[in-house]
Amino acid sequence: MKFGCILPTLGPLGGPESLTRTAQRAEALDYHSLWVADRLLYPVAPRTPYPATPDGSLPEYFKRCMDPVEALTFAAAHTRRITLGTSVLNMPFYNPVVLARRLATLDLLSGGRARVGLGQAWSADELEAVGADPKARASRADEFMAVLKAMWGPDPVGFQGRHFRVARSIVGLKPVQRPHPPIYLAGYVAPALRRAASVADGWLPANVPVAGMAQMVPQLHALARQAGRDPGRFEIIYMTPAQVTSAPLDDAKRGTLCGSAAQVRGDVGRLADLGVTEIIGWSGGGTVEEMLQALERFREAAG
């Protein structure tokens, strides 16, 4: 099992010192990966409830968000081995031609450490702000990924689709990783799982209970087989808040990866048995020191 952690790019802790200290400490603790989120707005009166909170309210730390690709590029300059992932870039926010160059640059400058998590976005306010059509997200996502792969493929590149058109051109700048950096998709509904199983290198779920994973992972593997792909080569990267406590928590009430070291290790084992290949333990803190301590506790507990 591999383990990843979240860089503090959301909220007041986001800054050069916190990014450097977190990235370097995670690498020293033998974390496999660093991940960043992607938020654009904090609407005062949001039209879409936030799916990860019981009442749909937006977390306070959403009020400030660093650009994810630039933050990872900064982290790359202060580390040597740890991989650098987006969890997730919201495809409706971006043009894939421009994003392909940015991610290829990250992969080049980091020595081939970029990992690309992509999602569809959920906020009506953010989608409106970037001029995205919510009804076209699915068809646009299919072309979006095809354009990324074309831009990272052999020159001359070209693409003709409904949403994007790229004249046959020499691009020149390519990622270090061939044929391209690994691509992961988020999403839970059947079409999203089918897209992930068909065209992505892995699935990147967040905040899914273990019982839900037990249902969806076999479904995902079956879809991969239907697409002529080997499920054994398909990565499943599981992200959820993690908290290691000094005493055990009530199993009926605690969240996955929350509780004593023994409880956390048990959760890691159950997720591994389900086919999860990497766990991103989302450990926060009010200060950088608290966040680093939480990273250490989780890494020690997870094994």
Per-residue pLDDT, 135 = 93
Give the β-pairing of 157-160 and 165-169. Answer: antiparallel
Per-chain mean pLDDT for the chain: 96
Per-residue pLDDT, 283 = 83
Which residue's structure tokens are 């392909």?
A: 100
Tell me the per-residue pLDDT of 102-120, one tens digit each, with 9 for 90 and over.
Answer: 999 999 999 999 999 999 9
Question: What percent of the chain lies above the pLDDT cut of 90?
Answer: 95
Beta-ladder partners of 119:
90
Local confidence band at 285 (pLDDT 50, 70, 90 cut-offs): confident
Task: State which amino acid sits at residue 87.
Answer: S
Q: Domain of residue 60: give its range.
A: 2-302
Tell me the per-residue pLDDT of 64-89, one tens digit each, with 9 for 90 and over.
Answer: 999 999 999 999 999 999 999 999 99
| Start-to-end Cα distance in the chain | 9
- Cβ–Cβ contacts within 10 Å for residue 127, how many? 21
CA distances from 56 to 46, 49, 119, 123, 163 (A): 9, 4, 19, 11, 32
Instruction: Report which of 146, 157, 131, 167 is spatially closest to residue 96, judged by C-alpha positions.
Output: 146
Task: State which amino acid sits at residue 218.
Answer: P
Per-residue pLDDT, 26 = 98
Per-residue pLDDT, 214 = 96
- Averaged pLDDT for residues 134-156: 96
Look up the CATH number of the domain holding residue 109.
3.20.20.30
CA dist., res. 278 & res. 30, Å (int): 13
Distance of CA 241 to the CA centre of its chain: 14
- Averaged pLDDT for residues 252-269: 96
**Beta carbons of 282 and 9 less than 8 angstroms apart:** no
Q: How many domains does the chain have?
A: 1
